[in-house]
Amino acid sequence: MAEMTAEEEKLSIRDISIAAEAQTKQGDTFYLITQRWWQEWLEYVNQNQDNTVNDGSASEHHLLGGSSALKRPSSIDNSDLIYEATSGDSSAGIELHDTLVEGTDYILLPQEVWNQLFEWYRGGPILPRKVINSGLSQTELAVEVYPLRLQLHLMPKDERSTIRISKKETIRQLHKKACEIFSLNPELVRIWDYFSHQKHALMNDMDKTLDDANIQMDQDILVEVSNGNSAGAVNSYHENGTADNGTVALVRPSQSNISSAEGLSLSKGSSRNDTAELSQSQQLASSGTDKTFGSSGVSTRGSACGLTGLLNLGNTCFMNSAIQCLVHTPEFARYFREDYYQEINRQNPLGMVGELALAFGDLLRKLWAPGRTPVAPRPFKAKLARFAPQFSGYNQHDSQELLAFLLDGLHEDLNRVKHKPYIKSKDADGRPDEEVADEYWANHIARNDSIIVDVCQGQYKSTLVCPVCNKVSVTFDPFMYLSLPLQSATTRTMTVTIFTCDGSALPAACTVTVPKQGRCRDLIQALGNSCSLKHNEKLLLAEIRGHLIHRFLEDPLITLSSIKDDDHLAAYKIPKLTKNSKFLQLIHRREEREIGISQSNVGWKPYGTPLVSAISCDDVITRGDIQLIVHRMLSPMLRTENPGFNCVSRSKTSAAAAANASRLAASSEACIDSSLANDDPRQKDVCSSKLVNLEKLPLQLVDENNACIDLTVGEDKSVKLSSSSMSILVFADWSQKLLDNYDTRYIENLPEVTKCGSATKKARTEPLSLYSCLEAFLREEPLVPEDMWYCPTCKERRQASKKLDLWRLPEVLVIHLKRFSYSRSMKHKLETFVNFPIHDFDLTKYVANKNNSRRQLYELYALTNHYGGMGSGHYTAHIKLLDENRWYNFDDSHISPINEEDVKSAAAYVLFYRRVKTDHHHSASNKTPFLRGSSLSPM
């Protein structure tokens, strides 16, 4: 038979693929093929095809990539998808690498497509996988890329074996396979769910699937041979998995710790990020088969409960660190190891049909089981990606954001309230805070009642005050965690020089404090408050470079981080503009002569700081008008010791000049207040006489053709202004004579935006206290303009002041340190060291409810850390095992003991505190049914 051409191969595979995928059903077989070989074949068959798509069928999306490859591929080579063959137990078959990702490492081909390619190219190894039903309704089709991997323990012979079996197989089929592997008489064999190396449940419902029996990846199965005597079935081993001598019965680790991958299309991401870590954990586990570990090194095999690591599936350290903190919260450890299934709320539309709670509970049980290798949390991550697509794939994410989602999602899945009543909150109306707070909390519990509420939720007191009518609004809202600002590093002092256009004041430097990652609107608002801005005025912010206006910062959303510490800023106090107003920019120049050049060769160079004024274009603007405006702008700098600068006597001011000045002031709505321009003739005369001079200022106007017009002649001549530009450029040439009459030092040297002195540097080296962060969080501050409050008395939105207080504290207090800030253009991390207490974290004085007499003391038991920068950092967790009273570092699958003094670092991100019991009674409002007993152990 003649060899097919590339085009014929492509058309043949396309037709087979369309037909096969259209008929896919449960039980069909798909085959894995390495993405590398598949891409090579695609390039070969598409070598003469342009990049146009001939058919929009979804079944062809892998087949239509353009390329210029010419060589026909060699035989199929899937060796990079599997572990190398070992001399160990071969009953498990060929093992796939545990972090393979569809579309990155492999693709799935229908059986018919694989058969055709295999006929043409041969090769292998052959990697078939079955199609199973999945999803809530069990109607979704998914290829089971990773079937269940089970550890079989034969008792009493102490033999072990590892098998692969689909989770859709029945218990009868598992029973049959176990008997075949160990050559046993089926009538004498019983199999048990050997969860945590204990007889968890007898698997005697032979028609039940392993999925229905809740058998998980890497589960232990006990194969028990009765030998006709059921009473002595296991005479050398106890049900807790220990031998008669008390040593732990260890299970030999297998090649890999693989979890199932659900669905035909898996999340894309890194496929080899965890190879080194995986092999290291395998070595650690295998080395412990026949030895006892001392306290100098910690192993996750044969060690105390709670010292089990989580494999990194590829940038999943953010998830692993948060999970370890939650599963080591004693209240949660107890709850999820008991029978919590009765509390699962499958009808809650805000929940995840209980699936998130089940996945978390299964993972927690694995992590608390003794004698287990590091767990690959792939099933949990699959559920997480299903209900929170933002965490899908293998990119780095924010651990705190994941934690917030988990707490909220677990609450909704475990909400004991099946039908939430509608409750309308009542206004306080002067009632006592205690009464209103209890009412709010009762309303909250009526709709939200779960283990998460019992353990983690507290209550704020929020007070809003209207700045106009002083209306006070008090509400009491629940919180799950506290997000505290790092106050010393989240603000920035900025110095800006403020200029007026009406000659009413000299330029003055103004220093304000603004959010470090704030925007220009924050700076303008702070400057306006500082300089007592009038209601009909506004500030025009500009960056000055080289004695010229480099840019106007008119966009209120410009980030302050784009302004450097050594920049120079000016803020011009101008009237709120009308439609036909422009900005007059007065650019200063002074004469400079170069050495060796004749005295007649004078160069004019920019000098000082430009001044800006608003000018109305509704009327005809004359050269004299501009002269008057410039005189007004410069008038505050006029030297008093030189009163005779050819000025007209104030008593002899011409009526025409006064009228002209009044007309300009009125037409531009600014420069002088309308009351001064129209209502008081005495003030009008003073203003006018001050500005009218016999000697004209040496001004040059730049017209629309970029030509300079001399404004010292033709006072009544009008000037033609550019219609396309908002700015009118006027040059003021400062001769020595002019400098003698004006004190220009006010415009010569602008201060830097931020000048770090020794005091500032010293302050930065001082550690920031967690108490200081809390006080900054509770400090009264005005609402941001876009989040203004609707005052029910004024019937308008007001920028009210807001004050938060702690009213009711939870059993477990989670504190988030706000190290990360985001904007549209950049991300930023604060490396500030926060000195947080480990013991005796006393919040008594911060609780506004003074009727609660007991001390509010907390002790740290867990925290997450973030090392490195944004997007490329790494998360770990420090956790205290309360039974041992010892701290450990959880770095994915690696666990090591640490000293308590090493817990504090600048990497601390989310802190977990647990209430210290100072008395024997609990607050009635914080009902925690799972906090019975005095032991701190999660057992």
Q: Which residues on neighbouring strands pair with residue 201, listed in sequence order?
A: 193
835's CB contacts (< 8 A; 6+ apart) are: 767, 768, 769, 770, 904
Is residue 317 among the annotated active site residues?
A: yes
> Exactly one of 62, 874, 894, 922 is catalytic; which is it?
874
| Residue of 200, 508, 397 whose CA lies nearest to 827 | 397
- CA dist 1 and 654 (Å) reads 112
Q: Are 370 and 303 in contact (CB under 8 A)?
A: yes
Structure tokens at 113: 């497509």
Distance of CA 877 to the CA centre of its chain: 18
At 448 the three-state DSSP class reads coil
Name the catalytic one among 317, 456, 466, 647.
Answer: 317
DSSP 310: B
Q: Do 773 and 845 contact (CB within 8 A), yes or no? A: no
Tell me the two tokens of residue 835. Answer: 């000195």
| Residue appearing with tokens 């003021």 | 732
| Ramachandran region, residue 608 (left: φ > 0; alpha: ψ -120 to 50; beta: rest) | left
CA–CA gap between residue 345 and residue 414 (Å, rounded): 5
Task: List, in order, residues 6 or more apart from 23 with CB less than 8 Å away.
Answer: none
Q: What are phi and psi of 385, to 5 degrees?
A: -65, -30
Residues 6+ apart with CB under 8 A from 224: 155, 189, 190, 191, 192, 233, 234
Give the residues across from 108 on adjacent strands.
32
Query: Are 99 and 271 contacting, i.e. CB atoms less than 8 angstroms apart?
Result: yes
Give the whole-angstrom CA distance, residue 480 versus residue 404: 8
Burial class of residue 280 (count of CB atoms within 10 Å of its CB; 0-12, 13-18, 19+): middle
Question: By the 8 A CB rule, do 670 and 502 touch?
Answer: yes
Three-state secondary structure string covering 391-410 = HCCCCCCCHHHHHHHHHHHH
Residue spans of alpha helices (H) in 150-293 = 171-182, 275-286
Establish whether 179 is a catalytic residue: no
How many other β-carbons are positioned within 10 Å of the β-carbon of residue 800? 21
d(CA 887, CA 903): 8
Contacts of 728 (CB under 8 A, 6+ apart): 582, 583, 584, 585, 615, 701, 702, 721, 722
User: What is the rounded CA–CA span in Å between residue 465 and residue 446?
Assistant: 29
Token pair recorded at residue 914: 């647990």
Cα–Cα distances in angstroms (integers) from residue 838 to residues 209, 710, 880, 902, 934, in the given order: 48, 74, 11, 11, 21
Q: Which region, left, alpha or beta, applies to residue 183 given φ > 0 means left and ψ of -120 to 50 means alpha?
A: left
Which residues partner with 491 through β-bridges? 515
Listed in sequence order, the residues at least 6 apart from 568 whose beta carbon sits closer than 8 Å to its beta carbon are 543, 544, 545, 750, 751, 752, 753
CA distance 706 to 553: 24
The three-state secondary structure class of 763 is helix
Question: CA of 925: how far to CAs of 443, 447, 455, 463, 856, in Å?
Answer: 12, 15, 12, 22, 15
Q: List the catalytic residues.
A: 317, 874
